[in-house]
Amino acid sequence: MIALLVISCIVTARGFTPTPTTTHAPEPTPTTTALNSASSATPDTKAAWGTFIDGEDADTTSLPQFTIPKTELLRRAAEILSPEVGIGTKDGGACLSPDFEFVAAVVGPIGREEYLSALGSFNLEDGFDIIPNFYGMSVDPMQPNRVWFFNRVTATHTGTFMGAEPSGKEIVSPPQVHHLDFDEDGKVREYGFYTADRRQGNTGGLGGAFGFMWAVGKPLPIPECQPYKKSFRFRMLSFVGGFLQKLQKKED
């Protein structure tokens, strides 16, 4: 199971290339209009934008610093995701620090050797044509050795996978948030990812290999490989809470 999830993360990280920009400017939206006009906003609006600690006019002198500059760290993260490196799959793990750990929502942390040994046991690409669709790369201003980024994996079921014959099904994973932590030598100390919005996509809200399993009807028989379901205790707590609210309204 660990190998399945680890490999799925790595496969979706291969072949990273920045999404090309459009040749024409998009129509302005309320959000982009607000962003573009922030510098000329009213004092109240400026105060609201001031809550962003990495804003254009924010004072970052009190924030923690890292030995690798922000622009270089972003370049290094893109390199780690490139086809030539593939988060350790193409360079024999040279990009990984000795104390590297992989961690996801329900798997890990696992160490460097276990991570690397999992690479030869499973290949998600044999069953799917995968497009990782990365975007939104940024450096965490409060943990400046960490790079965050998102992706929305799309795939086509083109080969046999866990006994499921190729169906041509289009698979859309929910958006996932990833992170890469670097040491001072530019090696990856930690890699992980988590589902950001389980209501999107057609994988039951599941990310990584678990989502692929669910999409083709081959989920593992464990709760972690199933779509989220409220526990009996939580359902009962919600029922009692709703019932008490109705009683309160009647009394009012």
pLDDT tens readout for residues 171-190: 999 999 999 999 999 999 99
CA angle 225, 151, 8 (to 5 degrees): 45
CA distances in angstroms from 136 to 91, 149, 185, 197, listed in the order given? 25, 5, 24, 15
The answer on pLDDT for 26 being more than 70 is no
Give me the pLDDT at residue 43, please: 59
- Count of CB atoms within 10 A of residue 48's CB? 13
Lowest mean pLDDT among 27-36, 48-57, 104-113: 27-36
Among residues 215, 216, 174, which one has the least CA distance to residue 196? 174
pTM of the model: 0.74
Q: How many angstroms separate the first and last alpha carbons of the chain?
A: 54
Q: Is 39 helix (H, G, I), strand (E, B) or coil?
A: helix
Among residues 18, 227, 1, 217, which one has the least CA distance to residue 104? 1
CB proximity list for 156: less than 8 A, separation 6 or greater: 128, 129, 168, 169, 170, 171
Phi, psi of 249 (to 5 degrees): -65, -40
pLDDT tens readout for residues 128-145: 999 889 999 999 999 999
The answer on pLDDT for 4 being more than 60 is no
Answer whether 139's CB lies under 8 Å from 147's CB.
yes
Phi, psi of 70 (to 5 degrees): -55, -50
The answer on pLDDT for 236 being more than 60 is yes
Answer whether 198's CB lies under 8 Å from 226's CB.
no
Spatial distance between the Cα atoms of 60 and 71, rounded to a whole number of angstroms:
16
* Strands, E assignment, 162-230: 170-172, 176-182, 188-195
Give me the pLDDT at residue 22, please: 38
